Amino acid sequence: MTDMRRTILWVVFLMSLVLLWDAWNKHQGRPTMFGMPAPTATTAGSAPAGVPASAALPAPATAGAAPAAPVTTAPVASEKLWITTDVFKAQIDTQGGTLTHVELLKHRDAVDASKPMVLLDQSATHTYVAQTGLISKTATGAALPNHVTTMTVLPGARALADGQDELRLTLESPAVNGVTYRKSYVFKRGDYAIGVKHEIVNAGGEAVEPQLYLQLERDGSTESHAGFLGGAQTFTGPALYTPATKFKKIEFKDIDKGGVELPTGATEGWTAMVQHYFVSAWLPPEGAAREFRVSKNGALYSLAAVLPLAPIAAGQSATLDTRLYVGPQEEKRLEALAPGLELVKDYGIFTIISKPLFWLLDQLHKLVGNWGWAIVALVVLIKAAFYWLNAKAYASMAKMKAINPKVMELRERLKDKPQQMQQEMMRIYREEKVNPLGGCLPIMVQIPVFIALYWVLLSSVEMRNAPWLGWITDLSAKDPYYILPLVMTATTMLQTWLNPTPPDPVQAKMMWIMPLVFSVMFFFFPAGLVLYWITNNVLSIAQQWVINKRLGVN
């Protein structure tokens, strides 16, 4: 029974570490034991994204549908406009008024901390942009201005001045079949949600029935750098939400296959592009009908919300206000913007446990003012919550350690009589009131909580570039001097010493070797996880030492 208990624990431990290591390799873009992800690389000179095809609502879109021919105007070179606020440095291309580059000034680059985090970008190696434009309601309708139509920028400031709370930039298209499209970006101080006002002016001789599309487009690459915890791959790709279908992730590979099922007939919901820590999302007004479309144009994937507008008579105009969020996955900020938007923060399958754990971690951060100490405090509270379960496990292990000499002597004496040896061992366990599996159940109960906490730390952008103390200036990065991993290794070995030695000599050796071998992994894990593990080890050692002392076990 002792061997069985140890086998169960080792299997759980080893499988967890193998999966973590495999996921780490996957996150780094390296070959894995269970297959290698094949991200789509973006090459220089990729063709621009296609305009969503005109179609009458509510006809569903199909992935990979051929794009309509873009509307072209006179060959006028586009201009790149730079906008600066307290949170953004953004570039808007006058070709379509597309948002082609966004730097998040309050977040640092994962590789070079001297540079701001770049979320949206259009370069030779990476494409990730936000586009809008107009299409006709019917396939036979007149062409309208879209995101490849060159627009003219109207006079206005390009930087948010001190004491100014709002910055507005307006672009206007030339008339296409009598229709002019005017788009205004409204940047507000301290806000990652950009207001985007769309005005359609019909100067033609007939009524038009336009549709407005709000599109996010990017290549299929995933992050090449290690994110916080490094041991798991968070979702990267398109996502959408409606009250009926709830949160839906769309894998790039499913778009490749053309097998994406999209909700229809929605009057609420949003579209987004999700990656580790950050998100961009188009937020149409509540109550407006919308259709969702995904497509692949060359090496680029797009997700669009298409909104039908009421017919606009000759000489009339229409306006529609939308919002574009481009920023960090801060849970409270996202909750306040739109229903379900906080779900882009990927907690995996343990969301029901992870959300209250993050809430508790956030409350602790408010008290202590430091995310590192908040992690320490959270582990203390979790250990306190499981104190009695752990106490039973440690008491069982202490008793096992106390009777270990008897078991060793019995195994040696009856090694040639396995059946009798098992009977005698069970007799000893009954007499000493020891349950060989007593240490397993408490550990198994805590595994979901541990995994949920792991995902909390993995998904929380608040840990990114967050310092703890001294040399730990970023909890999402590995310890530059490997001090925490060395401390963790030492605490792991001390905890091993407190446990009963297995009767089997091979198992006894493995008991010491395995913690050393797998501690090497933690030299590459970010400081937040190692800090969590050290705190958990120290508290476990303290509790186990007290129990061993109480039971007279050395």
CATH number for the domain that contains residue 125 = 2.70.98.90
Q: Are residues 441 and 313 located together in one domain of the fold?
A: no
Average per-residue pLDDT in the chain? 82
Q: How many domains does the chain have?
A: 2
Q: Is residue 144 part of a domain?
A: yes
Q: Are residues 270 and 414 located together in one domain of the fold?
A: no
CA proximity to 183, closest of 85, 102, 104, 92: 92
Q: Is residue 71 part of a domain?
A: no
Question: What would the pLDDT profile of 165-185 be if each residue is shown by its tens digit?
Answer: 999 999 999 999 999 999 999
Asked which of 27-41, 339-353, 455-469, 484-498 is least confident by mean pLDDT, the reply is 27-41
The answer to whether residue 511 scores a pLDDT higher than 90 is: no
Look at 28 and 410; give whichever has higher pLDDT: 410
Q: Are residues 402 and 479 located together in one domain of the fold?
A: yes
Q: Supply the range of the domain harboring residue 221.
A: 80-346
Domain boundary residue among 314, 346, 378?
346
Question: What would the pLDDT profile of 277-335 be if each residue is shown by its tens digit?
Answer: 999 999 999 999 999 999 999 999 999 999 999 999 999 999 999 999 999 999 999 99
Q: Is residue 59 part of a domain?
A: no
Domain boundary residue among 306, 325, 346?
346
Look at 416 and 56; give whichever has higher pLDDT: 416
Q: Are residues 406 and 331 located together in one domain of the fold?
A: no
Q: Are residues 232 and 137 located together in one domain of the fold?
A: yes
Direct distance between the N- and C-terminal alpha carbons of the chain, in angstroms, rounded to an integer: 23
Q: Is residue 252 part of a domain?
A: yes
Cα separation of 220 and 21, whole Å?
24
**Residue 66 — pLDDT band, cuts 50, 70, 90?**
very low
- Mapped onto helix, strand or coil, the DSSP state of residue 98 is strand
The answer to whether residue 268 scores a pLDDT higher than 80 is: yes
Q: Are residues 367 and 302 located together in one domain of the fold?
A: no
Whether the CB-CB separation of 486 and 494 falls below 8 Å is answered with no
Predicted pLDDT at 134 = 97
Domain boundary residue among 313, 346, 379?
346
Predicted pLDDT at 29 = 41
The answer to whether residue 349 scores a pLDDT higher than 70 is: yes
Predicted pLDDT at 12 = 52
Q: Are residues 340 and 448 located together in one domain of the fold?
A: no
**Residue 357 — pLDDT band, cuts 50, 70, 90?**
very high
Q: Are residues 307 and 425 located together in one domain of the fold?
A: no
Cα 146 to Cα 46, 72, 522, 552: the distances in Å are: 19, 9, 50, 79
Q: Is residue 48 part of a domain?
A: no
The answer to whether residue 348 scores a pLDDT higher than 90 is: no
CA proximity to 276, closest of 346, 341, 332, 220: 346
Mean pLDDT of 185-191: 97
Q: Is residue 351 part of a domain?
A: no
Q: Are residues 320 and 457 located together in one domain of the fold?
A: no
